[in-house]
Amino acid sequence: MLLALMRQINVAIIGGGTVGGGVYKALRQNGRLLASRLGVQLSVTRVVVRDLRKSRAVSIPKGKLTTDWKSVVEDERNHIIVELVGGVTLARQMVRKALRAGKLVVTANKALLSEHGEELFELARKHHTNLYYEASVAGGIPIIKVLREGLVGNRINYLYGILNGTCNYILTRMEKEGSDFQGVLEDAQHLGYAEAEPSLDVDGFDAMHKAGLLGSLAHGFWIPPDQIHVEGIRKITPLDIQFANQLGYTIKLLATIRPTPKKGVQISVCPTLIPLQHVLAGVRDVFNAVYIGGDVVGETLYYGRGAGQDATASAVVSDLADAALDLQQAHGSRLPAFVSHVENGSVFPWSETIAPFYLRLHVVDRPGTMARITAILAEARIGISSIIQPEGHEGDAVPLILMVHDAQIQAMQQAVKRICRLKVVHGAPQVIRVENFEF
């Protein structure tokens, strides 16, 4: 009887695929629980799909399905629009139209927000509505809410994230089995952990989009994707993982977001050596984690599944709950989508960033080789902390691994170019940043 007296809030979902189906299933499964907690009922009126005849893993009544997204957005009876189509071009068109109509919008689209978030947040403000995007970063981990609400009273001293489950799964398997990248990638594709066209994940762009959103929220100014340094994991070899372990490290695709003493925020996504004793080293398989340090709260860790139907659907439903509560407010939304509060914020140039490095070379094993290499590093004022030259490798060249002290990235790159011109150095070098979490 109580549920019947509650206000009903109508939700339209654009996209009936894996995530859209998961959201519909979650609302059907826990609708009464949500209503009892929120004091309002969430009712799905329409699910927009591309093909009405396509079979779906989640059963959705035919009467709720439609292919006409424009009529769904324009329908005044729909209070909240959920965009789950992916991509950028059409999704942007849908979200803009919904915001201009004054609808509350929920999206899981990190690429859309990374490329057009500043415009869409302004559009939401202009039309007195709001945009919710918890599901866009780290799936089931409520990291957007953490930054916007839980840590709102903190300056963020550092933020590190393992933000792509596909890359983490591949690197975990490579470390566990000694397998090469291509073989594990093919397995991941077969198991559904990697897309048929995997470049968005393995080349680091998915994590880059997420890092940009987290960096913008943490530091109060919009960070465009073209200012984020990004590298993928294609070049990581079992040899690198083996030597990293010998040196006391593991390799992760790590998003790093830190303010620098010289002003500006360092932000990057790249393979990184992490000490085996650090908590992020234990994040394995498809799991994500975000490690944040605030000036008041100290260090905090957030861990969970970063992708998949249920984890992402959980985050979308969380946003739907916030949107429903905002509709109950007499004076609009409790919290704007994004608040720019830092004037003249800037991204610190990657080339000027200082870090320790792992350097792997293949060299001819003859007297004087080491002296030539160390002389070039010394001229660049780059110090060596340790050297490994393993025995038992056959062929004209053998691996040589050097761990170097803090060096400016530009100086390191120039020194490596000079080293590679030596006749005793064969093949391409491997240069990987090291993060020791020394604050």
Could you tell me which of 224, 222, 214 has the C-alpha nearest to residue 254?
A: 214
- Which residues are within 8 A (CB) of 347 and not within 5 positions of it... i.e. 6 or more apart? 223, 227, 228, 264, 265, 266, 267
Residue range 24-39: average pLDDT?
94
- 110, two tokens: 């990190």
Tokens (6 digits) for 112: 């859309």
End-to-end CA distance of the chain: 57
Q: What is the CA radius of gyration of the chain?
A: 24
The per-residue pLDDT for 395 is 65
Q: Over 80: is that where the pLDDT of 363 sits?
A: yes
- Two tokens, residue 173: 């398997």
Q: Which of 70, 210, 235, 423 is catalytic?
A: 210
Domains and CATH numbers, the chain: 2-136+311-328 (3.40.50.720), 143-305 (3.30.360.10), 351-434 (3.30.70.260)
Is 263 a catalytic site residue?
no
Nearest to 287 by CA among 314, 308, 263: 308
If one counts every other C-beta atom within 10 angstroms of the C-beta of residue 83, the result is 27
Give phi and psi for 123, each to the nearest 5. Answer: -65, -40
Query: What is the reported pLDDT for 309?
Result: 87
Residues whose CB falls within 8 Å of the CB of residue 430, separated by 6 or more in sequence, listed in order: 235, 237, 240, 358, 359, 360, 361
Contact 231, 270 (CB under 8 A): yes
Question: How much is the pLDDT for 178?
Answer: 95
Question: Residues 215-234: pLDDT tens digits?
Answer: 999 999 999 999 999 999 99
Provide the token pair at 72. 């769904």
Residues 7-20 have a mean pLDDT of: 93
Q: Is a pLDDT exceeding 80 seen at residue 254?
A: yes
pLDDT exceeding 90 applies to what percent of the chain? 81
Q: What is the largest CA-CA distance in the chain?
A: 88
Which of the pair, 396 or 128, is modelled with greater confidence? 128
Share of the chain above pLDDT 70, in %: 97
User: Which residue pairs from 219-224 have beta carbons closer than 8 angstroms and sit at least 24 positions apart in sequence?
Assistant: 219/156, 219/257, 219/259, 219/265, 219/342, 219/345, 220/339, 220/340, 220/341, 220/342, 220/345, 221/340, 221/342, 221/343, 221/345, 221/346, 222/117, 222/118, 222/338, 222/340, 223/265, 223/267, 223/347
Report, as an integer, the average pLDDT of 177-188: 95
Please report, to the nearest 10 degrees, the dihedral formed by the alpha carbons of residues 364, 366, 367, 368 taken in order: -20
Q: What is the distance between the alpha carbons of residues 170 and 271, in angstroms, rounded to a whole number? A: 12
Check pLDDT > 80 for residue 1.
Answer: no
Helix, strand, coil proportions of the chain in percent (round to 5)? 40, 25, 35
| More confidently predicted of 4 and 343 | 343
